[in-house]
Amino acid sequence: MYDDVHDLDYEQARLYALRQLKLLDTPPSESFDRITRLASKYFNMPIAAVSLTDADRQWFKSRVGVEHWEIPRFKACCAEVADESTVLVVPDMLESSTYRDSVLADSGIRFYAGAPLQTQDGYTLGAMCVLDTQPREISEDDIALLKDMAAMVMAQIELQHAVGRIDPLTGLPNRSQLAEDLDDMARDAFGRHHCALFTEVLDSSQVSTLNRVMGPTYVDELSRLAARGLQEVLGEEQKLYCVGLCQFVHLVEGCGDDELIDGALRLRETLLSLTLIREAPILVHPVVGATPVYLGENQPGDVLRTAHSACQDARLSEVGAGVYSQALDASHRRRFMLLADFRAALNAPDQLRLVYQPRIDMQTNACLGVEALLRWRHPQLGEVSPSEFIPLIENTPLARSLTAWVVYSAIAQAQAWHRQKLNIGMSLNVSACNLEEPDFAERLLAQVHEAGLPVSAIELELTETALIGQGRAAWQQLDSLIEAGIRIAIDDFGTGYSSLAYLQDIPAQVVKIDRSFIKGLDDTPRSRTLVESMLNMAHNLGYRVVAEGVETQQTYDYLESLGCNEAQGFLMSRPLEAVDFETWLAARTA
């Protein structure tokens, strides 16, 4: 069938083009059927079909007057149309040496006329054909009409293919197309080094602000203008993809990080200077992120993700352009993972636990209570520090469940100690957002009572900023807690940037001086002055003062000389598991 190597190559490329369109063996569709009906009617012939030439069969996407879906390719007239890419007319099959003994002739067909179904790239997929059971002649005009119908079929095929691959707003290929192209490129050049540049003209918060202020059509228009401007800068030859609102990607052949950054920066400069964007009554801050792509090794989804991640990092940096960093990405991913996994941790029996760090009365040397500190053993990541995961959770609805878990567990432990006649106060860390729960105080008090604990056994630690930056509802929660006899401690005192004048307004009984000040006591005179004045002021305002992070005897002695009430820190003990605390306490009182 194939004359030479060239023909074979063509046939392979042709089949590839056909398969790319994903038409073979798809169900009938009215958009094709109406063309075949029209053909049959117009030519007044019993049979019309849209026939696609697969490797060894003719498959009918649409047909009138034939029962079956496919016939063998061998000696099929449509196959000749596909091979020759020209119109084929067989006035009478019985007169044709080629087709006299074909499947078609055997089934009673005498006449055939077919026009090639040709893609824009010049591949003939098959034929638009009409057939009759009698020999016929066909005029030049009718042949022209058959060709028109073939063109209509092709338009339909290409349109259907484009839907879902073209961004309707900008007319640019979209991310499905990008994924497909990356796959195609990998087939041709597996492992070759390329680079994806991700340009984001507006970030999502700008998009939503603009949507709100100017309406969505404005942002659409901006995206269109940006697409045109970007294409202009890159040149018509460069394929540009639109992967989201005001988000574009293009691929360049491999280059090093420095070149990439240079390229990205130049691109950004040009974007900034585009008049079309200057016309917008807003400040547009385009950023460009670049990521290396090893064809076939990086999945298209990952390419988009890492390129966008580079883009987001670039937004945080001043230059506005950056190359994907695995380290930064890993930290984002870790944060995401922690956030995503915390809900499961709350329900797992063995991931979360509390440890307890003793607090010592400096006058009597007795342990009056402990601070409950949360620990998380992540199934994959191992121990995760609360200073890493709590700030993440605090901004989510899970903060409520986190504190609920801590309150429940700490009260259960306090109850156990109370039953053992151990007189140990329990200090709990609470986030600012917990005070916004309207039933926070009520629930806590109910649990304390139910456990048969004296209210005085419970203390809540809140940071200075949490206590000050609160609305009325939070103050009400605080008031009812204090009224019921729960103590409030100002945690991390001195680290908030609020004015000390506020101190007199905060409804609290205890001040915990942050360990950053305590740490410096041994060597820096400035720290001494600071701690001394904090202590004096807090005492003058009637607070009880706790020093956090006491690590040396020298610090301890100095704080004692200043009249500090309590000390907490590694010098006395690290945070301990409940049983270890009991042992520690027994050894101390023995």
* Residue 431, binding choice from Ca ion, ligand C2E, none, Cβ under 5 to 8 Å by partner class: ligand C2E
Sign of the CA dihedral 570, 572, 578, 579? positive
* Residue 260, binding choice from Ca ion, ligand C2E, none, Cβ under 5 to 8 Å by partner class: none
* Residue 566, binding choice from ligand C2E, Ca ion, none, Cβ under 5 to 8 Å by partner class: none
Q: Which residues contact 180 (CB under 8 A, 6 or more apart)?
A: 20, 165
Can you give the binding site for Ca ion, defined by CB under 5 A? 429, 461, 491-492, 548
Q: Which residues contact 392 (CB under 8 A, 6 or more apart)?
A: 335, 338, 339, 342
SS3 letters for 448-465?
Answer: HHHCCCCHHHEEEEEEHH
Q: Which is nearer to ligand C2E, 408 or 475 (CB)?
A: 408
* Owner of token pair 């697409």: 227
For residue 16 the two structure tokens come to: 């590839």
d(CA 510, CA 539): 10
Q: Which is nearer to ligand C2E, 285 or 378 (CB)?
A: 378
Q: How far is the CB of 583 from Ca ion (least distance, A)?
A: 23
* Residue 569, binding choice from Ca ion, ligand C2E, none, Cβ under 5 to 8 Å by partner class: ligand C2E
Q: How far is the CB of 258 from ligand C2E (least distance, A)?
A: 40
Q: How far is the CB of 380 from ligand C2E (least distance, A)?
A: 20
* Residue 320, binding choice from Ca ion, ligand C2E, none, Cβ under 5 to 8 Å by partner class: none
Q: Which is nearer to Ca ion, 103 or 432 (CB)?
A: 432
d(CA 109, CA 194): 54
Sign of the CA dihedral 228, 230, 236, 241? negative
Cβ contact 81:92 at 8 Å = no
The alpha-helical segments, DSSP class H, found in 138-174 are 140-162
Q: How far is the CB of 196 from ligand C2E (least distance, A)?
A: 39
Paired residues of 415 in beta bridges:
none
* Residue 575, binding choice from Ca ion, ligand C2E, none, Cβ under 5 to 8 Å by partner class: ligand C2E
* Residue 247, binding choice from ligand C2E, Ca ion, none, Cβ under 5 to 8 Å by partner class: none
Paired residues of 173 in beta bridges:
166
Q: Which is nearer to Ca ion, 136 or 515 (CB)?
A: 515
Q: Which is nearer to ligand C2E, 226 or 433 (CB)?
A: 433
* Residue 274, binding choice from ligand C2E, Ca ion, none, Cβ under 5 to 8 Å by partner class: none
Q: How far is the CB of 579 from ligand C2E (least distance, A)?
A: 18
Q: How far is the CB of 572 from ligand C2E (least distance, A)?
A: 9
Q: Which is nearer to ligand C2E, 12 or 553 (CB)?
A: 553
Q: Which is nearer to ligand C2E, 288 or 513 (CB)?
A: 513
Q: Which is nearer to Ca ion, 83 or 491 (CB)?
A: 491
For residue 172 the two structure tokens come to: 């640019």
Q: How far is the CB of 347 from ligand C2E (least distance, A)?
A: 17
* Owner of token pair 């585009």: 274
Which burial class, exposed, middle or buried, applies to 153 when counting CB atoms under 10 A from its CB (0-12, 13-18, 19+)? buried
* Residue 373, binding choice from ligand C2E, Ca ion, none, Cβ under 5 to 8 Å by partner class: ligand C2E
Q: Which is nearer to Ca ion, 54 or 548 (CB)?
A: 548
d(CA 175, CA 182): 10
d(CA 528, CA 290): 50
d(CA 434, CA 436): 5
Can you give the binding site for ligand C2E, defined by CB under 6 A? 357, 373-374, 385-387, 390, 406, 429-431, 461, 491-492, 515, 548-551, 568-570, 575
Q: How far is the CB of 514 from Ca ion (least distance, A)?
A: 6
Q: How far is the CB of 197 from ligand C2E (least distance, A)?
A: 40
Paired residues of 197 in beta bridges:
250, 290
Beta sheet of 287-294, edge-to-edge order: 240-244, 247-253, 193-200, 287-294, 321-323
